[in-house]
């Protein structure tokens, strides 16, 4: 699965579990670490954990083994899928760190909530 296909897969997975305010940040030209950073919000700490668990399970089901998961049972969980790093945050944490502004010189892609 290439990075664009993986991005679409992650977007669909996050939509399935009702992640809020999903934004993809294209960082291909800025870092060799990853192609995209996806930032989303959960309604509660349980929702944040459920989103992370769902992303990991869905990736494994597609034979795409995550490189790692950081911040389990916290207000910010990071799921590293190699070409995509998914940041799942509580609203207050997301507002405080404001990753979209940090990477504001890049192409932002806002996913529409249905």
What distance in Å separates the CA atoms of residue 19 and residue 13, rounded to the nearest whole number?
9
What distance in Å separates the CA atoms of residue 96 and residue 85, rounded to the nearest whole number?
19
Write the CB contacts of 61 (distance below 8 Å, at least 6 apart in sequence). none
Read off the pTM: 0.89
What distance in Å separates the CA atoms of residue 58 and residue 52, rounded to the nearest whole number?
10
CATH number at 104 reads 3.30.460.10
Asked if 77 contacts 1 with a C-beta cutoff of 8 angstroms, the reply is no
pLDDT at 100: 87
pLDDT digits (tens, 9 = 90+) for 49-92: 999 999 999 999 999 999 999 998 789 999 999 999 999 999 99
pLDDT at 112: 55
pLDDT at 31: 84
pLDDT at 73: 76
Q: How many domains does the chain have?
A: 1
| pLDDT surpassing 70 at residue 110 | no
Q: How confident is the model at residue 105 (pLDDT cuts 50, 70, 90)?
A: low
> Residue 97 sits in which domain range?
3-110
pLDDT at 113: 54
Q: How far apart are the first and last CA of the chain?
A: 26
Q: Is 36 helix (H, G, I), strand (E, B) or coil?
A: strand
Asked if 30 contacts 106 with a C-beta cutoff of 8 angstroms, the reply is yes
Residue 64, by phi and psi: left (phi above 0), alpha (psi -120 to 50) or beta?
A: beta
pLDDT at 30: 82
pLDDT digits (tens, 9 = 90+) for 18-36: 999 999 999 888 888 999 9
DSSP structure class, residue 39: E
């Amino acid at each position: 699965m290439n990075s664009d296909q993986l991005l679409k897969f992650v977007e669909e997975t996050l939509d399935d579990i009702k992640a809020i305010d999903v934004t993809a940040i294209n960082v291909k030209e800025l870092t060799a670490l990853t192609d995209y950073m996806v930032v989303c919000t959960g309604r509660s700490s349980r929702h944040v954990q459920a989103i992370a668990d769902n992303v990991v399970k869905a990736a494994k089901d597609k034979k795409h083994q995550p490189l790692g998961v950081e911040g389990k049972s916290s207000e910010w969980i990071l799921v590293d899928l190699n070409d995509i790093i998914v940041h799942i945050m509580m609203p207050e944490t997301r507002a405080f760190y404001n990753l979209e502004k940090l990477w504001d010189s890049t192409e932002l892609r806002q996913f529409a909530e249905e």
